[in-house]
Amino acid sequence: MASRGGDAQVERTIFHIDMNSFYASVECLHRPELRDKPVAVGGDVEKRRGIILAKNEHAKKFGIKTGEVIWQARQKCPELVVLPPRFDLYLRFSRMAREIYADYSDQIESFGIDEAWVDVTGTPKLAELGAEALAHEIRKRVKFELGVTVSVGVSFNKIFAKLGSDYKKPDAVTVFTRGNFREKIWPLPASELLYVGPATRRKLKSYGIETIGQLAQTPPETLRKWFGKWGLVLSSFANGLDTSPVARTGEEALIKSVGNSTTAPRDLTCDEDASIIFWMLAESVAERLREGGFMCRTVQITLRDNELFSFERQMKLPEPTFLASELHAAAMRLLRAHYNWRRPLRSVGIRGTDLVPATTPVQLSLFENPEKQIRRARLEQAMDEIRRRFGHYAIGRAGTYVDPTLTQINAKDEHTIHPVGYFKAV
């Protein structure tokens, strides 16, 4: 056991607060005529890449899922109202929610735009109300002051607190203690545990492990043989042994990475095809980095082929950047190093992560004219201004017009904000 102050004698009390159906809830708040209708937030309805980013409770009743394409969602629910995303609005609500959490603790760690851990160990309000009543107070305040609901998980570690916020939705509080977690958590599917994704779930199932309890009772050394060091992490998570602290993060932690992905208008079959799409995505990511006042130190690409197999690769940059040309160059290096084109690509993505403030000093290259680097930055900033004034398609790079079909992507207006990973080293 550990406390926020490091006292080994004090049990921690950690909340994980998840804003329910966040994007769709905010949209319905601003458009009350839609509150009783199935509503989703998604991309371009007319194009193949349009997907569901979020949905409200009414839409969930029709089986609509985040990540499915809009035309499939409409087959399930012809009356579905699909709205374009407005991330500036969602960020404003996220900040207001964080201000409420800050009334109870200064130890707040954002987990993307709509989730946060809050360590209330040792706080006066915890001593006054107790953990469950305090969680309900926060839940009620968010509902009353912001008009949206949250689910709160309460536990003695971050992993179980996160599991608690998913356990009962919407507008609910779930408490997992050392005394009840085996009864309540262990019967749950192993996939409910944070970071047990589809691949890990399938591998666990192949060994006969389908529940968190079965995972917890598997000898750690056996899991290590199957999964390497990751197996020991899984064992720790399942047994409630996670001791990771709730990191104090500022508002900038609401976004720890900036990324875009898209399903291409047609399957990509060669480097030249991928290069065009990567330009579309890199320009969006770069512009959003500049708007947010960030540079990224790591570039990650996501590739999904026409049989829906996907994987990610990433590389560290020599220096932080917010330039599309450098993001594109890194993406193409990763593509050429890790993909052999045995199958066409259906969708690709670029993400800039490991963010630093744009004011961070950068060492100019000894092998490139510094004036050229500065001109390149000014050129991209000028393109930002042209697009703001005259629209996205007012200017583009000549090399991308080789195939007009692939250039009809306005990635910036359909972007996805990616949450920070649980492991800071990843």
Active site residues: 115
Q: Say if residues 3 and 13 touch (Cβ distance below 8 Å).
A: no
Count of CB atoms within 10 A of residue 197's CB?
Answer: 9
The span from the CA of 202 to the CA of 184, in Å, is: 23
Q: List all residues 6 or more positions away from 388 whose beta carbon is below 8 Å from its beta carbon.
A: none
Question: CA–CA separation, 221 vs 94, rounded Å?
Answer: 41
Using CA atoms of 131, 136, 137, 142 in order, give the dihedral in degrees to the nearest 10: 130
Calculate the CA dihedral of residues 363, 368, 373, 379 and round it to 10 degrees: -160
Return d(Cα 252, Cα 293) in angstroms, integer: 10
Q: What backbone torsions phi and psi does residue 46 show, to the nearest 5 degrees? A: -85, -15
Angstrom distance (rounded) from CA 417 to CA 254: 10
How many other CB atoms are found less than 10 A from the CB of residue 29? 15
